[in-house]
Structure 1
Amino acid sequence: MCGIVGLHLRSPDLHPQLGALLTGMLCEMADRGSDSAGVAVYGNAAWCPPGRNCVSVLELSAAPDEIAAALGGDVEVRALGETLLVTGTAPVEALQSAVLAAYPDALISGFGADVAVLKGVGHPRDLTAAWGLAEATGWQGVGHTRMATESAVTPSGAHPYAVGPDQCLVHNGSFANHATIRRELRRAGVVFDSENDTEVGARFVAQQLANGRDVETALKELCATFDGFYTLLVSNSDSFAVVRDAIACKPAVIAETDDWVAMASEYRALAGLPGVERAAIWEPEPEVVYAWTR
C-alpha cells in the first residue's frame, strides 16, 4: 500500500515543531507499510547549517571521522541511523563528486543547500527515534512508509527519491510503463541507481525541472507520459505539490489553513495538526496538480 505524508509550514512560529508534527504523521501511516521509511526535512539548521551544502549518503560503512578525513577540507560528517549527512561549503556537485571519488560504492540519496534525506529499514516508530526526528526544526517535511512491491527492502529502496538539488518525490502506487520511460531517459544520458519504478518518476520530474519547467508543468507532463495508478508528492526548495492519476486510484487527502498545508494518504495522519478543526479539507481530483509556493 505505502503511506505518504507531507507538511508545508507557512507560519514561522511552527518551525520548531516541524519534526514532532512530521513524526506523528509518519508513525500514523505505519500500518500502510512498515518494512522501511524515509523523510526529507527542509530548513533544519542542525542538519543543513546555513552557508553549507548537504549530501545524504547511504551504503557507506566507514566511521564519520574517517570519512571526513578522507574527504578533507571543511567537511563534516554526521550519522543518523543508516544515513550519513556530509556537509561543507563547497558547491553541492563538488561534495557529491568527492564522496563518490573516495567511496565509489556509496549511494547519494539526497543533496542540496536546505534538505536532509534520511532512509532506513524497519518500523517508522523505531527509525524516527533513531534519527531524532521529533527534535528537528524546519519549514517543510515529506515522509513515506513503504510496503515493497517493486524492489528489495533496503534503505536505498525506501522513499523519498531525491535525485535533483533540494528535490524529492514520494509515491504510492505503481507505474506500468516505467521500463520504457527508463530506456528513453537513459538514451538522453540520465543515470539510474536502481530498478525501482519510483526512481523513474523522480528522474523524469528532475529532468523537467532542469529544463526550466516549474513543478506544476512537470507534473502535468508526468501525467501525460506515465501509465499506472499513483499519488505523488513532490517538493523542492520553494514548493510543495500533489497529483493523482486519472482515476484517483490511490487515497489522498489535503488540508489547508493559514498556518500550514498538509497532505497524507489518510486523514488520521492529519488529525493531530494544530488548528486542523478549522482547516479546509478535500480529496485531490484526478490529474489536477495542487501546488503551493513558499
Structure 2
Amino acid sequence: MALAETETEKDMCGIVGLFLKKDELRPQLGDLLTDMLITMTDRGPDSAGIAIYGDEGGTLKMTVQSDTPATSFAGLDAALSAALGAPVTMRVIDTHAVLTLPEGSDAAARSWLAERGIRVMGSGHAMEIFKEVGLPRDVAARFGIRGMGGSHGIGHTRMATESAVTTLGAHPFSTGADQCLVHNGSLSNHNQMRRVLTAKGFAPQTQNDTEVAACYISSRLAEGASLGAALEGTLEDLDGFFTFVVGTRTGFGVVRDPIACKPAVMAETEDYVAFGSEYRAFAKLPGIDTARVWEPEPATVYFWER
C-alpha cells in the first residue's frame, strides 16, 4: 500500500485484529488470526503474539510464561493451590501455562508467581495471551493458535528497534483484567505518562512505550470509562505517532493519532470486523471480496462490543 511507503523501517510493526459477529465462526478464530499475522511477518520478524478471547462466562484464569517451563511448571498447580487455599488447575502450552484460579485471587497469585520468577502475560475470564521471540509462523505453531476458538482476538508482529528482543517486549501488553493492546508507532511523552500512571497505581513494568498506552487504557476503564471513551482519551493525553488496537472481554477497538501516518485498513461484513496494517492481511478471510473496506480516519475511534 502507498501508506506503507511513508514509514521508516525503524517504526514498522504489523497489527491484526478480528471481531466475530456470528458464533458459528468462533471455532475458526485462531486459524483466521494466524493467517492474518503470518501475512504481516515482513513488517516485524523479531517477536509475535496473539490474544484470544474465548469462554466469556468462564472462571478466572491467568496466562503465565517461563524460560524454563520444564522446571518452573512442574507441580506449579499443586503448590499454588496450597498457597491460595483453593483448587488451581494448569494447562501447559510450550513456554506458557494457563492457570484457572479461585475468584478474587489474582493479586495473591501474581505475588506468589513473581517470587518464583514466573511472568504473568495476562489474566481475566475470557482472555489468553501467547507471545514469544520468533517469527509469527513459528510462534503460532508453538502454541497451537490455529486450534483455538473464541469471539475475537488481536495480534502483533514486532520489529524491535528501541528496546531488546525479549518475550516481555513482545505485544500484546495486558495491564488489566481481560484487557490488552497492540501498537504500531512510538509515543513521545511516555516517560511523563509513566509517572502519572504510576501515581494512579498503574505502573508499567517494562520500558516499552506500548505498555504505557496499555496502562493508560486500563486506568480509564478502571475509572468507569467505556472502551470508546478510553480510546478517545488517548487522542488528548498521548503524544506521538500511533495506531492502537485494543481488546476487552466484550469489545474490540481501534484508534489512530491525528496525523495517522501509520498504515491501517479495516474490513467489515455481516460476519466480522477485521483490522490489518495492510490489506493483504485480509486475503484469506471468508467473504472478503464483498466486504466494506476502508482506511480508518485520523483521530477517530472505532469500536464494537458484544
TM-score bracket for the superposition, by shorter chain length = over 0.9
* Counterpart position of 1:56: 63
User: In structure 1, what residue type is equivalent to 2:246?
Assistant: V
| 1:260 equivalenced with 2:272 (yes/no) | yes
* Counterpart position of 1:287: 299
| 1:42 equivalenced with 2:53 (yes/no) | yes
* 8 Å Cα contact 2:194/2:203 also seen in 1: no
Q: Number of paired residues?
A: 288
CA distance in 1, matches of 2:229, 2:262: 21
* Counterpart position of 2:206: 194
User: In structure 2, what residue type is equivalent to 1:5?
Assistant: V
SS of the residue 2:174 aligns to:
coil
TM-score (norm 1): 0.94
Percent identity of equivalent pairs = 47
More divergent stretch after superposition (54-63 vs 112-121): 54-63
Assess, with a 3 A threshold, how the Cα gap between structure 1 residues 119 and 102 changes in structure 2: closer, same or farther: closer
SS of the residue 1:230 aligns to:
strand
* Counterpart position of 2:193: 181
Assess, with a 3 A threshold, how the Cα gap between structure 1 residues 155 and 102 changes in structure 2: closer, same or farther: closer
CA distance in 2, matches of 1:68, 1:216: 37
User: In structure 2, what residue type is equivalent to 1:36?
Assistant: S
SS of the residue 2:176 aligns to:
coil
Task: State the Cα RMSD in Å.
Answer: 1.5
* 8 Å Cα contact 2:19/2:153 also seen in 1: yes
CA distance in 1, matches of 2:96, 2:113: 17
Shift of 1:189: 2.7
* Counterpart position of 1:144: 156
Question: Per-residue CA shift, 1:43-67, capped at 9, x if unaligned?
Answer: 1x5xx9x542111112463343421
CA distance in 1, matches of 2:108, 2:162: 29
| 1:33 equivalenced with 2:33 (yes/no) | no
* Counterpart position of 2:91: 78
Question: Per-residue CA shift, 1:237-283, capped at 9, x if unaligned?
Answer: 11111011111110000000000000010010111100011110000
* Counterpart position of 1:153: 165
More divergent stretch after superposition (72-81 vs 153-162): 72-81
* Counterpart position of 1:66: 75
Shift of 1:86: 1.2
More divergent stretch after superposition (207-216 vs 59-68): 59-68
CA distance in 2, matches of 1:259, 1:188: 39
Shift of 1:183: 1.1
More divergent stretch after superposition (189-198 vs 277-286): 189-198
Unaligned runs of 5+ in 1: none
Unaligned runs of 5+ in 2: 1-11
CA distance in 2, matches of 1:194, 1:245: 23
* 8 Å Cα contact 2:131/2:167 also seen in 1: yes
Question: Per-residue CA shift, 1:207-251, capped at 9, x if unaligned?
Answer: 000000011111111111111101110110111110111111100
Assess, with a 3 A threshold, how the Cα gap between structure 1 residues 208 and 190 changes in structure 2: closer, same or farther: same
| 1:117 equivalenced with 2:129 (yes/no) | yes
Question: Per-residue CA shift, 1:20-51, capped at 9, x if unaligned?
Answer: 101100100111111101110011x5xx9x54
SS of the residue 1:184 aligns to:
helix
* Counterpart position of 1:131: 143
SS of the residue 2:175 aligns to:
coil
More divergent stretch after superposition (56-65 vs 164-173): 56-65
